[in-house]
């Protein structure tokens, strides 16, 4: 049975806490009064993120943050983390996340994402910690039969190994609860996280050519790339371009805080969609970002990208009903904050 505790008495381990969503969540948790332990191997993140987190939250809250440069696959190191700090709950973000790369490196993706989760939950079990929030994805819904997507919408076969790892880890954690009902599992299915911290101190920092739309658009705006490539304009959507439910990363962060609060004192497996419930097309994004950065961004229409669906967006009424959580930011806010981050940090954390 999960023990109900106040934030100031609760220590949350955040794996992948130096990453894009992880870092914004860590800020939110520290501001809410939690003690936070971040484990990140920095394979796709910068140590500077930790300093930025401390700057944003201030000295008093920063004193409640501990950072370990550790790979979650490293069982001994993870055991040592649990031996050193009393961990009450875990938010598990750490994992490889590039869809295209996962197709060419399936072994690495399955080994890392599934392997680190199995190591993590085994170490948790050995230390009597059975509360976990998992960073899942709307990718588990595949090509939807109908919209909006509710948590009851069927899971579909994934179209790439990255998607399968999300799919399978949801199953692993569900099976864990079946075997031992003392587990307290929350699966958060994110739609498309974008935006940045309004301070301009934290944001998305992709390595190489961005795979996702928003970082690519931001790099066109800053002059690093010539034009946005729109992947197909013959989809079954109002303007023919793909429609997604973009959500501000700070809204996702409050979603995790809401989930931590909600799971307090419970057991079970619960799924929540985290999105805004609104769909936005690629052309609408280009328009909104052009407005945010004050110039018209060039784009060209290219062929469809394999594996992309026409449209998806969330029904988020369950998160509202159960956890009292709703997304606050709109597309204009998301593009504004993303541009603020990009223009202040043209080379990301290394700049």
CB of 94 or CB of 123, closer to ligand UFG: 94
Q: Which is nearer to ligand UFG, 136 or 184 (CB)?
A: 136
Q: How far is the CB of 63 from ligand UFG (least distance, A)?
A: 34
Residue of 162, 216, 246, 329 marked catalytic: 162
Please choose, from the candidates 248, 246, 274, the residue with its C-alpha nearest in 3D space to the C-alpha of residue 259. Answer: 274
> DSSP H helical segments within the chain, as ranges?
20-31, 48-57, 59-62, 75-84, 99-104, 106-109, 115-126, 161-179, 213-221, 249-263, 282-293, 317-323, 331-344
Nearest residue to ligand UFG, using CB? 242
Q: How far is the CB of 51 from ligand UFG (least distance, A)?
A: 27
Q: Within 10 A of 224 (CB to CB), how many other CB atoms are there?
A: 14
- Give alpha helix (H) positions in 127-240: 161-179, 213-221
Instruction: Compare residues 148 and 242 and give the one whose CB is closer to ligand UFG.
Output: 242
Q: Which is nearer to ligand UFG, 7 or 22 (CB)?
A: 22
Structure tokens at 143: 């090509």
Which positions touch ligand UFG (CB under 6 A)? 97, 99, 137-139, 192, 211-213, 216, 229-231, 242, 244, 282, 305, 308, 312
* Least distance from ligand UFG to the Cβ atom of residue 19, Å: 12
Please name which of 117, 164, 139, 89 lies closest in space to residue 275, comparing C-alpha atoms: 139
Give dist(CA 272, CA 135) in Å, integer: 11
- Alpha-carbon gap, residue 50 to 62, rounded angstroms: 10
- Least Cβ distance, residue 213 to ligand UFG (angstroms): 4
- Shorter beta-carbon distance to ligand UFG: residue 73 or 212: 212
Distance CA 129, CA 91 (A): 12
The question of whether 313 is a catalytic residue gets the answer no
Shortest CB 108 distance to ligand UFG, Å: 16
Q: Which residues are catalytic?
A: 162
């Amino acid at each position: 049975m999960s023990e109900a505790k106040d934030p100031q008495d609760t220590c949350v381990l955040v794996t992948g806490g130096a990453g894009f969503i992880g870092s914004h969540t860590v800020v939110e948790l520290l501001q809410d009064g939690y003690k936070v332990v971040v484990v990140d191997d920095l394979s796709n993140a910068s140590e500077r993120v930790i300093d930025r987190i401390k700057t944003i939250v201030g000295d008093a809250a920063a004193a409640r943050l501990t950072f370990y440069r550790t790979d979650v696959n490293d069982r001994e190191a993870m055991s040592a983390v649990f031996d050193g700090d009393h961990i009450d709950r875990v938010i598990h973000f750490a994992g490889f996340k590039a869809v295209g790369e996962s197709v060419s490196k399936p072994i690495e993706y399955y080994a890392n994402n599934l392997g680190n989760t199995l190591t993590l939950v085994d170490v948790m079990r050995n230390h009597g910690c059975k509360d976990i929030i998992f960073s899942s994805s709307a990718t588990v819904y595949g090509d939807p039969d109908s919209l909006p997507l509710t948590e009851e919408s069927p899971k579909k076969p994934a179209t790439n190994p990255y998607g399968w790892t999300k799919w399978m880890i949801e199953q692993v954690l569900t099976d864990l609860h079946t075997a031992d009902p003392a587990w307290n599992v929350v699966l958060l299915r994110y739609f498309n996280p974008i935006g940045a911290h309004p301070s301009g101190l934290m944001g998305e920092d992709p390595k190489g050519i961005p795979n996702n739309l928003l970082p690519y658009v931001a790099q066109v705006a800053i002059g690093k790339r010539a034009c946005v490539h729109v992947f197909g304009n013959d989809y079954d959507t109002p303007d023919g371009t793909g429609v997604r439910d973009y959500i501000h990363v700070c809204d996702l962060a409050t979603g995790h805080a809401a989930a931590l609060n909600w799971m307090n004192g419970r057991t079970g497996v619960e799924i929540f969609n985290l999105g805004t419930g609104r769909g936005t097309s690629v052309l609408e994004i280009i328009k909104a970002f052009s407005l945010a950065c004050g110039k018209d961004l060039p784009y060209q229409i290219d062929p469809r990208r394999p594996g992309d669906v026409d449209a998806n967006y969330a029904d988020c009424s369950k998160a509202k009903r159960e956890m009292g959580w709703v997304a606050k930011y709109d597309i204009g806010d998301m593009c504004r904050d993303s541009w603020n981050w990009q223009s202040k940090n043209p080379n990301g954390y290394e700049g």
